[in-house]
Structure 1
Amino acid sequence: MSLPFPDASDPGHAGTQREPRPRAGRPLVVDVEDVLLQTSLSSEAVWSEIAHRPSAIITLAAALLRGPAELKRRLSTSAHFDPARLAYNTDTVGMMLQVLGEGRPVYLASDHYDGALVSAIAQHLGVFTAWSASETGVRLDPEVLGLLQSWSQGFDYLGHDSEALPTGATRLPRRTADASTVAATQPAGWRVWAKLLRVHQWAKNALVLVPLLTAHQFGFWPVATALLAAVAFSLGASAAYILNDLVDVTADRAHATKRNRPIASGAIAPAQAIAAMALLLVTALALATAISLPFLGMLVFYLALTTAYSFRLKRIALVDVVTLAVLYTLRVIAGAVAIGVAMSEWLFAFSLFIFMALALVKRYVELDRRSGGDKPMSRDYQPNDLSMIAVLAAAAGFNAVVIFTLYISSDTVRALYSHPQIMWAGCPVLMYWMARVMLFAQRGLIDDDPVIFALKDRVSWLALGTIGAIMLAAM
C-alpha cells in the first residue's frame, strides 16, 4: 500500500491538498478502491473513455494485453476522466468529514493507480491533507509502510482487509449503514436486475407480432415462431440497454432520475453487467439462429444500429430520432421475416411515421424538462428547438394517419378484408390518440418515453382495443 506521509512528498506519488497537521490528532488513511468508490476506478475510467471516443476500445484492449499496469497508465492520460461523475461511497465521505471536524488529518492512498487519477479524485473532493499513489500501478516497497510510524499516535486505516499494516495502525471496519453502500456490497436482488435489463421495455417487442396480425397468420407455428422472435429481440434489446448504461454512466449520474439506474448507483458492478450482457447476447443470437438465418441477420443489424446509436448517433440532433424510428420499424420488419411473409409497404410507411412522431415526442419531453436552460446531457439540441420539435412530431403523427387512410383505399386492403370501408371508423380514434399524446407531452404529463406511457395509459389501451375491434369487424 502506498501511504502518504506528513513531512515529505515524492513528486509523482503525493501532493499536498491542505496544510499538513501531523500532530493534530490520529490521522485517517482511506484507500480508493472499493472504499471511497462503490465501483472499480479502472472500469469507470475505461467506460468514460469509450463513451467519448469509441475507437479507444482498440488502444485500451492493446494496453490490457500488455498488462494491467499498462492499462492503468493509459487511463491516466485520458482527457475525458471526470471525478465529479464517480459513484462515491457516501458513508465513507461522511466519515472523512467527521474526522476533519475533529481536527484530524485525512489522507488518500492507492497502491494500484497512477497519480493522475488519484490526484484528480483528491482535488475534486478537496478534503485530503495529502494523497499518495503508485507510479507503476503495482505495490511499492514495504519500507514505505514504516514511514507512518513517525506519527506517535499511530493512524487509522479504512481499506482492504487483506492489507498489511505497520505497528500502531488500526484497521477500521467498513460501515454499511448507508443504503447505497449496502446495495454495493450485497448481491443485487431480482428487482435490481430487472431494472438493469429494463424488463418493462420488453413490451415494445410486441411489435414483432404486428405482421402476424396484419397478414392474418393465426396458425400454431406462425404464432409460436413470432413469440420466439419477440423473446430473442427482448434479450438482445436488454443487452443493448446494458451497453447503453455502461457508456452513459457518467451522464446518468448527473440526471435527476437516471442516477438511480443500477450501474450508475453502484448497485451492480460493471463487471457483473458485462457478464450479463454477454449471456443475453449469446442467448438471443442462438434463438434467432433457430428461427432462420434471415431473421438472425435482422437481429444482428438491429443490434449493430442500436450500438451505433449508443456510441454516437444519439448525440446528433434529428439523426437520433430518425434512428429511433428505424429501430422500432426494424422490429416490425423482423416479425415479417420470422414468419416468412412479405412486409407490407403500407405497414412499413405507417410504422416509420408513427414511430418518428413518438421519438420526437420523447425528445420534446426531455428538452422541456431541461434544467437552467442548458442543453440536455449527451444531446445536440438547444432550448429554442422545442417549438420546432413539436411541429415535426405533429407532422409525422398525422402523416401516419394519412397513410392509414390511403391504405384503406388501396387494392391491398380489399384482398384481406371483406368490408374495408368499416376501417374508416378507426381514423378518428387514431387522430384522437396522436393529438392526446402530443397534448399530454406539452402539459408535462408524460414522464419520459411515450411508448411506455401508452402501455400504462388506460385510454391508449381503449383506443387500441377499439381499432382492433374495427379491423375484426372489417374482416
Structure 2
Amino acid sequence: MTVDNTALAPPLVVDLDGTLLRSDLLLETGMAFVRHKPLSLFKPIRWLLKGKAALKEGLAKATHLDVTVLPYDQEVIALIERERVKGRTIVLATASHISLAERIAEHLQLFDQVLASNSERNLSSHKKRDLLVELYGAQGFDYIGNSLDDIEVWKSARSAYVVNPESGVERRAAAHGNVKQVIQSNTPGLNHWMKALRLHQWMKNALIFVPLFAAHQITNPLLVWQGLVAFLLFGLCASSVYLLNDLLDLADDRHHASKRNRPFAAGRLSIKSGLIAFPAFLATAFIGALLLLPWQFAAVLAAYYVLTLAYSLSLKRHMAIDVISLAILYTVRIIAGAAATSLELTFWILAFSMFIFLSLALVKRYAELRDARKKGHTEKTRGRGYYPDDLEMISSLGASSGYLAVMVLALYIHDQSTNALYSHPQVIWLACPLLLFWITRIWMLTHRGQMHDDPVVFAVRDRISLMVGALFALVFWIAA
C-alpha cells in the first residue's frame, strides 16, 4: 500500500513583505500618504504614538494601493502554485494590515486563509509564531520568509524557505537545521542603482557651463574648476531628487509601459534603501556647495530642490504648469553655473533657455499623449493634466516656442554687448537656420512617434543632433 505523503504535508505559510512581495506595504502606504496628503504629515506620527498596529491601520485606510500592479516575486508564486497542485493548504501570514492582505489574497487567488495585523495586533516575529503554533502546533507548518523577524517563526516551523534574505538572515536560519530551500530571485546590483540615480541625466547639468562659454571664459582654469565642482554637486542633488521622485511615483510608474521597470517600482531596490540614499546624496550636495563654492550657488541649488519637490508632489499633475516648471528647472541649471563662477547672466541667455526648453518639455508631453491615443485611451493620462485630444494644441505650442527661441537668437545678434564679445557677430546668423532645422526635425520625429526618450537625452545620442550641435558651436567660434 502506497502512502500519499502530500496529503500529510502541513500547511505552507507565506510571509508577504519582502517575500511574496518585493516591497514593504507599510512603506508603500507611507509613500502614498506623503504624495497625496503632504500637508498631513503629523497624522502618521500620532498613529505611531498609539503603536505600530495603529500606524499600519491608519495608513491602510488613508491610502489606496492598486494591488494588481505590485511587484510580486514570480518564483515564490511558482512555488506556491506547485504546492497547491499537491493539495496543500496555503496560508498568507503577514504583519501588514488585514485589509491589504485580504485584497492581495483576493487578487492572487492562491490562499486558503489570511492572517494579518489589525488595529490591536501587529502580527510580527514572536506574535506570528505564537499564532501559528496555536493553530497548527510546533513543527506543524512550513514557513516562507525573508527577514530577521522571521527567525522566531522558523524556529517553530517544520521546514524553512528563505527568500532573498536580509543580511545575516540566511546564516541564522541555517543554524536551526530546517532550511529546505533558499530562493535568490532579487539581488540588487550596481546597475539598478545607476538606473535609479539616472546618471545619464547628468548630461543636462552641462548647462552649468553655458555662462562660461557665453562670457568666453572657458579657458579660465579657476572658473572651469568651479564649474566642474558645480556640475558634480548639482548631479548629486538631481540624483537625490530622482530617487525621491521614484519613491513618490510608485503607483503611477507601475501603470506606465516603461517606467514600471524602474528599480523601485519593480521592487529591484527596496524603498528603505531609497529613503536612506536620497537624503545622503542631498546632504552631500549642500555641504559641498557651502564649503567649496560661493553661497549664491547653494541658494540656487536650494531653489532647484524646492521647485523639483513641488513638481514631484503637485505641479506635474497640472496642465501647462508642468511644462513651464520643467523649462524653469533647465534654466535654473544655467543660473547655477553663473552663481558658481560669479559670472553675470544676460537677458538673452535666459529668454533663449526658457523658450527652447519649454518646446522640449512639450515634446515630452506630446510623445506620452501620442502613445496614449495610439492605445485608444481617451481619458486624462494618469498623473498628468492632459487628454489625448490635446495633441494638436501641444504640438502648436511646442513648435511655436521653439521658433521663438530662434527669434531670440536673431535679436541677440544685434545687441550692443554682442558686438563687444564677437569680432564677426554677423556670422551668428548662420546658427539660425541650423536651429530652425533641428527644432523642426525634433517635432517631426515626435509627430511620427519616433521620440522614445527624453528629448535632451535623445539629442545627445542622435547623430544628426550632434552634427548640428558641432556646426552650431563652430559658427560661434568663427564669430568670436
Question: Residue in 2 aligned with 1:445?
Answer: 450
More moved, 116-125 vs 465-474 = 116-125
Question: Residue in 2 aligned with 1:407?
Answer: 412
TM-score, L = length of structure 2: 0.87
CA-to-partner distance for each residue in 1:233-263, whole Å, 9 max, x for gaps? Answer: 1110000000010001122122221122111
Question: Residue in 1 aligned with 2:204?
Answer: 204
Question: Residue in 1 aligned with 2:122?
Answer: 137
Indicate whether 1:305 and 2:307 are aligned: yes
Q: What amino acid does structure 2 have at the position aligned with 1:158?
A: I
For residues 23 and 402 of structure 2, the distance between their equivalents in structure 1, rounded to whole angstroms, comes to 43
Indicate whether 1:27 and 2:17 are aligned: no
SS in 1 for 2:17: helix
Question: Does structure 2 conserve the Cα–Cα contact (< 8 Å) formed by 1:49 and 1:81?
Answer: no
Question: Residue in 2 aligned with 1:459?
Answer: 464
Question: Residue in 2 aligned with 1:124?
Answer: 107
Given candidates 96, 103, 114, the residue that maps to 2:87 is: 103
For residues 227 and 114 of structure 2, the distance between their equivalents in structure 1, rounded to whole angstroms, comes to 59
For residues 325 and 173 of structure 1, the distance between their equivalents in structure 2, rounded to whole angstroms, comes to 48
More moved, 323-332 vs 81-90 = 81-90
Aligned counterparts, 1:164-243, within 5 A: 164=153, 169-174=158-163, 182=184, 184=186, 186=187, 188-218=188-218, 219-243=220-244
What percentage of residue pairs aligned between the two structures are identical?
Answer: 39
SS in 1 for 2:38: coil
Given candidates 31, 49, 53, the residue that maps to 1:69 is: 53
**How far 1:216 moved relative to its partner?**
1.0
Question: Does structure 2 conserve the Cα–Cα contact (< 8 Å) formed by 1:366 and 1:448?
Answer: no
For residues 106 and 229 of structure 2, the distance between their equivalents in structure 1, rounded to whole angstroms, comes to 52
For residues 254 and 207 of structure 1, the distance between their equivalents in structure 2, rounded to whole angstroms, comes to 32
Question: Does structure 2 conserve the Cα–Cα contact (< 8 Å) formed by 1:291 and 1:338?
Answer: yes
Question: Residue in 1 aligned with 2:174?
Answer: none
**How far 1:295 moved relative to its partner?**
1.0
SS in 1 for 2:423: coil
**How far 1:220 moved relative to its partner?**
1.2
For structure 1, the residue ranges without an aligned partner over 5 or more in a row are 1-21
Question: Residue in 2 aligned with 1:155?
Answer: 141
Indicate whether 1:255 and 2:239 are aligned: no
Question: Residue in 2 aligned with 1:433?
Answer: 438
Question: Does structure 2 conserve the Cα–Cα contact (< 8 Å) formed by 1:145 and 1:165?
Answer: no
For residues 226 and 156 of structure 2, the distance between their equivalents in structure 1, rounded to whole angstroms, comes to 68
Question: Does structure 2 conserve the Cα–Cα contact (< 8 Å) formed by 1:24 and 1:105?
Answer: no
For residues 301 and 98 of structure 2, the distance between their equivalents in structure 1, rounded to whole angstroms, comes to 44
Question: Does structure 1 conserve the Cα–Cα contact (< 8 Å) formed by 2:247 and 2:264?
Answer: yes
Question: Residue in 2 aligned with 1:4?
Answer: none
For residues 243 and 26 of structure 2, the distance between their equivalents in structure 1, rounded to whole angstroms, comes to 18
User: What is the CA RMSD across the aligned residues, in angstroms?
Assistant: 2.4
Question: Does structure 1 conserve the Cα–Cα contact (< 8 Å) formed by 2:227 and 2:337?
Answer: yes
Question: Residue in 2 aligned with 1:277?
Answer: 278
**How many residues in Structure 1 have an aligned counterpart in Structure 2?**
446
CA-to-partner distance for each residue in 1:77-128, whole Å, 9 max, x for gaps? Answer: 2232332232111111122222233333321112x23322222222222322
More moved, 129-138 vs 463-472 = 129-138
Q: What amino acid does structure 1 have at the position aligned with 2:452?
A: D
Against the structure 1 CA distance between its residues 175 and 357, is the aligned structure 2 distance closer, same or farther, given a 3 Å change threshold? Answer: closer
For residues 184 and 255 of structure 2, the distance between their equivalents in structure 1, rounded to whole angstroms, comes to 22
**How far 1:143 moved relative to its partner?**
5.4
Q: What amino acid does structure 2 have at the position aligned with 1:137?
A: N
**How far 1:154 moved relative to its partner?**
4.3
Given candidates 385, 393, 414, the residue that maps to 1:388 is: 393
Indicate whether 1:268 and 2:286 are aligned: no
For residues 113 and 164 of structure 1, the distance between their equivalents in structure 2, rounded to whole angstroms, comes to 16
Question: Residue in 2 aligned with 1:37?
Answer: 21
Question: Residue in 2 aligned with 1:15?
Answer: none
Question: Residue in 1 aligned with 2:177?
Answer: none
For structure 2, the residue ranges without an aligned partner over 5 or more in a row are 1-5, 166-182
**How far 1:282 moved relative to its partner?**
1.1
Against the structure 1 CA distance between its residues 433 and 321, is the aligned structure 2 distance closer, same or farther, given a 3 Å change threshold? Answer: same
Against the structure 1 CA distance between its residues 425 and 167, is the aligned structure 2 distance closer, same or farther, given a 3 Å change threshold? Answer: closer
Against the structure 1 CA distance between its residues 114 and 354, is the aligned structure 2 distance closer, same or farther, given a 3 Å change threshold? Answer: same
